[in-house]
Structure 1
Amino acid sequence: MPVIDITTDTENLTLTVIAEFAAPIERVWSAYSDPRQLERFWGPPGWPATFHTWDHTVGGRADYSMTGPRGETSRAYWEFTEINAPHGFTVLDGFSDENGVPNPDMPVGRMQFSFEPTADGTRSTTINWFESIDSLQQVIDMGIIEGTRAAMSQVDAVLQDLREYAQGKGTEVEMLDDTHVRITRMVEGPRDLVWRAYTEPELIKQWMLGPDGWEMTECEVGLNAGDRYRNSWAPVGDTEGEAFGFEGEMLLVDAPRRAVQLERMQGTGGPDVLNDVTFYEEDGATLITVLMDFPDKETRDMILATGMAEGMEQSYARLERAVLAVRGV
């Protein structure tokens, strides 16, 4: 976790975030000054950022939005007032409407990003100044502290090359809190083909099988927000177990970057689990990230105890083979 301290100062109307990265200052600067890299962590899990404009010059502006798992959008902007590469930059930070026009009803602050080399990498200090105690309290109430910690937990994956970060690690499960779990798996294959393997029934049936000895007996996909989907599995031959399945609704589809769905066991009234799946490609490999949002800790623990992660790893290994097999299609 890069964040080592977050403090608020009601006298000076500031919120300060201190983080440390195991990367040189030039690499950290690159992550903060390239919108495509910044998109990967500027926004907590489940609310990824998209930068629509990026003019990284003094007086220039960057407009961005963050999209929630149900398609809800929050839009904001930066206006660059100082730039001192690679040691930092300062922006005016405000909210805007759906067209990028500044929202006068929301607070405008000043934010300074500072980077300094350390013996082990780089220390980042981000200071947010606010116009009033009410403005500071407003963003605290909106969850800026929790959101910042969650967002910064994604930086390590950005600072390293994808293969250096994820190759050979298999399916990794990270508990973010009592109701959120992040699962990552790198697949050797381009994102477009991984997306196809996730959305084309004839490919899904080749890999989404869990442990050996099971087959997929039903595969109905949803390709648009609002579509229903349904998947079923059954044991083959002497394999022990009872047939089961999941069904649900697609909440958001942004091909080939992201798919969000509500899922529940077939034949039950829930509980629903929200699965937010994103796909990031680098140098011909794709990082699959699944953010699972459970209704409570008990449901989280019950589902993880089923051996879900082990079954996912076996499925992802098949996915990798399937992706490679259709590479030339």
Structure 2
Amino acid sequence: MPVTHIQKNPEALTLTVTSDFAVPVRRLWDAYADPRQLEKFWGPPTYPATFTRHDLSPGGRSEYRMTGPNGEHAGGYWEFLSVEEGRFFEVIDGFADEQGRPNDQLPAGRMTFSFEETATGSRLTMVQHFHSPEDMETLLEMGQAEGIEAALGQADAVLADLRSFASGREVEIQILSDTQVRASRIIRGSVEQVWQAHHDPELLRRWLLGPDGWVMTEATAAQQTGETYRYAWEPGVGVEGEPFALTGELKEIQPPHREVSTETMEGVDGPPTLNEQTLTPVEGGTLLTVVITYADAQMRDMILGTGMAEGMEASYARLEAEVLG
């Protein structure tokens, strides 16, 4: 078991959990930066977690739900107060309702995560700071210490799995719920480079093309909240297909880590999707994550069936080759 020490300090109102791992600090950090990995060990074995948002950056936020053996859900969130890449982050850690909103009926507290190198690998020190003796008693009676220990007991297997989360892999699509999917890929470039490639019209025309042979005829990017964007394509010479365009409104932007926008295909009836894109630095480049929310499962499955993953992969591979070198 990686947990080596648990200390409950009623005077200081803290719970400290120390864990040691036989991997470099960077590998351990990336397991917390990547929601695909984090959700494999954040919840206890009988309550696995699903992260529907994970922004490991100052001012960012994470939202997750843990699903019990009978399908019951327990929600949680992190609000990131500070982040020092590869070394430390601090969050407000709390419970959430079914809509992801803070559950004020249960205590929230401050939690710090410190990563350091050791002679045999790396060490993680987690410290939960409680607001009051009553909050500490409530959460410990709910089994917080035992839950953390059980959850971290799964981390070694995740850390040993290098191939599943390494750079060079194609776009991975995961179904999160009836209405949400997550697309993930590591792009070989810095966060700033990948962000710029998504907002510079000239760069967009070089890589955001989908399958080979298509031409981007318009790249009007949105740069500020409330602005609209429009991207249009047409088939090149000898390529079959009909011209089409995507448009939407920029709802939220936090350069260079996160942006949220709606998306609609022109001429197609139906509600827009909501696309939440996050860029996170990891070993090998930038982890690009897009959580897409659809109106219903039917719409989700219809769009997945169009070859969305293949089109995304072709574009991201072109981004690496032609824009980032």
Measured against the shorter chain, the TM-score band is 0.5 to 0.7
Which secondary structure state, in structure 2, belongs to the residue aligned with residue 45 of structure 1?
strand
Matches within 5 A, 1:159-198: 159=159, 165-198=165-198
> Structure 1 length as normaliser, TM-score?
0.61
Contact preservation (8 Å) 1:166, 1:185: no
Q: Could you say what the CA RMSD is over the residues aligned between the two structures, in angstroms?
A: 4.2
For 1:123, the equivalent position in structure 2 comes to 153
Which secondary structure state, in structure 1, belongs to the residue aligned with residue 149 of structure 2?
strand
Tell me, in whole angstroms, the C-alpha distance in 2 between the residues paired with 1:161 and 1:77.
Answer: 32
Could you list the runs of 5+ residues in structure 1 that have no partner in the other structure? 1-23, 55-60, 95-101, 125-151
Select the residue among 61, 66, 81 that pairs with 1:52.
Answer: 81
> Structure 2 length as normaliser, TM-score?
0.61
**Are the structure 2 counterparts of residues 89 and 258 from structure 1 closer, same or farther at C-alpha, using a change threshold of 3 Å?**
closer
Tell me, in whole angstroms, the C-alpha distance in 2 between the residues paired with 1:108 and 1:197.
Answer: 48
- Please tell me whether residue 287 in structure 1 is matched to residue 274 in structure 2: no
- Please tell me whether residue 26 in structure 1 is matched to residue 52 in structure 2: no
Which secondary structure state, in structure 2, belongs to the residue aligned with residue 168 of structure 1?
coil
Contact preservation (8 Å) 1:87, 1:116: no
Matches within 5 A, 1:203-282: 203-282=203-282
Contact preservation (8 Å) 1:93, 1:109: no
Aligned length in residues? 243
**Are the structure 2 counterparts of residues 172 and 109 from structure 1 closer, same or farther at C-alpha, using a change threshold of 3 Å?**
same
Tell me, in whole angstroms, the C-alpha distance in 2 between the residues paired with 1:79 and 1:279.
Answer: 23
| One-letter amino acid of the counterpart of residue 230, structure 2 | R
Tell me, in whole angstroms, the C-alpha distance in 1 between the residues paired with 2:259 and 2:216.
Answer: 21
Which secondary structure state, in structure 2, belongs to the residue aligned with residue 46 of structure 1?
strand
Contact preservation (8 Å) 1:189, 1:323: no
Tell me, in whole angstroms, the C-alpha distance in 1 between the residues paired with 2:30 and 2:310.
Answer: 35
| One-letter amino acid of the counterpart of residue 52, structure 1 | L
- Please tell me whether residue 64 in structure 1 is matched to residue 101 in structure 2: no
For 2:3, the equivalent position in structure 1 comes to none
**Are the structure 2 counterparts of residues 79 and 276 from structure 1 closer, same or farther at C-alpha, using a change threshold of 3 Å?**
closer
Q: Deviations over 1:158-190 (max 9, x none)?
A: x47988723232111112222111111111111
Contact preservation (8 Å) 2:52, 2:176: no
Shift of 1:86: 6.3
For 1:6, the equivalent position in structure 2 comes to none
**Are the structure 2 counterparts of residues 274 and 160 from structure 1 closer, same or farther at C-alpha, using a change threshold of 3 Å?**
farther
